Structure 1
Amino acid sequence: MPASKKLILIDLDGTLLNSRSEISSRNKEIIEKLISLNHYVIIATGRNYSEARQLTSKIDNLGYITSNGSYIIDKNSNVILSEEIKLSSAKKVLKLLAKYKKIAYYISSGEEIITDNKFNLYKNFFFATRHKLKYRKRLLASLFKIISKFKLMDIKGVNSLIAYLNKNEFCLHKIFVLGDKKQIEIASHELQNKFLRELNISSSGENNIEINAAGVSKGKALEYLCQELDFPITETIAFGDGENDLELFEKAGTAVVMANSSSELLKAASDLETLSNDEDGVAVILNHILSDDSFLIKKKNDNKIKFKSI
């Protein structure tokens, strides 16, 4: 039978976006179809609003949960939630991170991304992500990919992040850290130990750390959104591939993990497994929902459905 009204939350990197950071025509078409039938489609990402909006600019009437739940925008571009990191906490975190020489970091608001060492950020991003650029066969092409990404991000350089925050009003939604895997692991443990009650520490990959205000997560944002829309959370469907999607999976009515996810925790928390982001895994599930959503109830029998073909 036709699908009942759904609220659909879709992560960007590794989920809706393919390995070239593009939305396929197949994914675009099914999302537009669902929106035309009055389903809610929400982009739920760790990226800030400016990046998310640019990456999805060809699809109208999307809502956005950005910066891991810190900043929520409705389909009419109205801000409905903004959760900021306290200045005192941010300064302590930045001082702690400064001692790690093989990592880089930036701060972000809904519209801005700022760092105090662009070169170090570029370098660490390249070494953290080069293994994912399999379709790029030459180093020059890989570097072009990195440059294109940073052009989209429009990163602003300053001499000192702490000095900048002291002098300017900045809606700090997230601190993003990336770099050497070993130092990231050590820094993550130190942040967890020192800021457990002040901040939320998560990750979307083994080479990064994502820092938000305490209590902020995609899952909490989903609860807030359902309350604002007076929408039953049981009728929500979440797609993701990273561990910053974990609480979202725990809250959503149905959780769909991508085949390309490397997170065993996320896979364990999911109800369905779809194809990879390069195989239009999002569209595979959404097409099923559009034609007949009764297959979703099968998950209640504790038999996870795994989609293996398009």
Structure 2
Amino acid sequence: MYRVIALDLDGTILNSDKKVSEISKKVLQHLTSKTFKNANGQDVMVLLASGRAPYLVQPVEEEIEIDCNLIGYNGGLCLSTKSEGRSTLFSRSIEYPHMQQIFKYVDENNHFLNVYGESHVYGTSKAELRAKPDIYAKMTGATYKFFDHPYSELSESVAPTKSLIIFEDEQECDSMLEQLKPQFPEVSLVKSNCMTKEHKQFYVEFLQKGVNKGSAIRDFCKAKNISIDQVIAFGDAENDIEMLTEAGHGICLANGADQTKQAANYVSEFTNDQDGVARELIKVFNLPAELFQ
């Protein structure tokens, strides 16, 4: 019955090498082919739902060779498919007075803050913090525009849908998240991460109040006139929790965070490095076993 396959990227459809495996490509392409229909005789679409900026989600779309709908910034922005003109279905930026509060905080506490623009990320050029964006860029493909002035001097024309503080230590990130929540009641804060075989980073993300992947897939379904029950979602991290609970069926991969596993309808026995998404889709859609070869 599922019409929408909502996929987180890092730690879910992407393996530890930040690639989509050939098996995953084959399964997703089969499900979205013109000849395949779900149990209700309907076409199936892929919705890529990431904390990344949309321009950093598009390379994954190109890799799997499917025309996808895109959710970026953990639900702050949703774009239609290329064939539909890649129109903006909805966009929710953080209000500038709230961004000023965030800028003041990171300036005073010497944190590195990603501030997302349309095609690049703004960040401080401070030498002692430079390793953080360098690793982030290596893991995600992001391009930066560095500046020498304080964050608080960024103009009002910079209206990010998301910003985030980068940490190398998960415990520090967890502690900071709890400290910041009462200080910033007018925005949403969420923990996320990005990992490769060589690097790990953890993030406290700032979003417009109420924005998350769960609210985004619900609004996407409204825009497309699709029941939320017809969404099957896959994730691994804490920023996927709302998406997995809102979807008709939410699956957490074996490499997922404990909190995400507890929130999911089902926990796969397979990780992102074991083609967990492809394996579960083959079972759910009752696909030919030879697809996994």
State the Cα deviation string for residues 260-310 of structure 1 (Å, max 9, x = none). 11x222111112222111111010111123326xxxxxxxxxxxxxxxx99
- Match status 1:23 vs 2:12: no
Corresponding position of 1:142: none
Q: Report the aligned-residue RMSD.
A: 2.3
Structure 1 residues 98-247: aligned runs within 5 Å: 98-101=107-110, 103-117=111-125, 119-124=127-132, 148-149=138-139, 152-160=141-149, 161-166=151-156, 169-181=157-169, 182-196=171-185, 198-205=186-193, 207-247=202-242
Partner of 1:56: 61
- The structure richer in helix per residue is 1
Give the aligned residue type for 1:187: M
Q: Which residue of 2 aligns with 1:73?
A: 79
**Offset of residue 177 of structure 1:** 1.1
Contact 1:173 1:212 in 2 (8 A): yes
In the TM superposition, residue 5 of structure 1 has moved relative to its aligned partner by: 4.2
Deviation at 1:55, TM superposition (A): 2.9
Establish whether residue 269 from structure 1 lines up as the match of residue 263 from structure 2.
yes
Q: 1:26, CA displacement in angstroms?
A: 0.9
What SS does the corresponding residue of 2:155 show, helix, strand or coil? helix
In the TM superposition, residue 118 of structure 1 has moved relative to its aligned partner by 6.6
Q: Alpha-carbon deviation of 1:120? A: 4.8
Question: How many residues align structurally?
Answer: 267
AA partner of residue 41 (structure 1): V
- Are residues 252 and 207 of structure 1, via their aligned partners in 2, closer, same or farther at CA, if it must alter by over 3 Å? same
> Structure 1: how far apart are the matches of 2:136 and 2:172?
22
For the 8 Å contact 1:44–1:65, the answer to whether it is kept is: yes
Q: What SS is found at the alignment partner of 1:203?
A: strand
Deviations for 1:50-89, whole angstroms, at most 9, x for unmatched residues? 1111233232311111100001011131111110001110
TM-score between both structures, scaled by the size of structure 1: 0.79
TM-score between both structures, scaled by the size of structure 2: 0.84
> Structure 2: 5+ residue runs without aligned partners?
37-42, 194-200
Moved over 4 A (4+): 118-122
Unpaired segments ≥5 residues, structure 1 = 127-144, 293-308
Aligned to 1:39: 44
Identical pairs, percent: 23
* Alpha-carbon spacing, 1:146–1:269, altered in 2? closer, same or farther (3 Å): closer
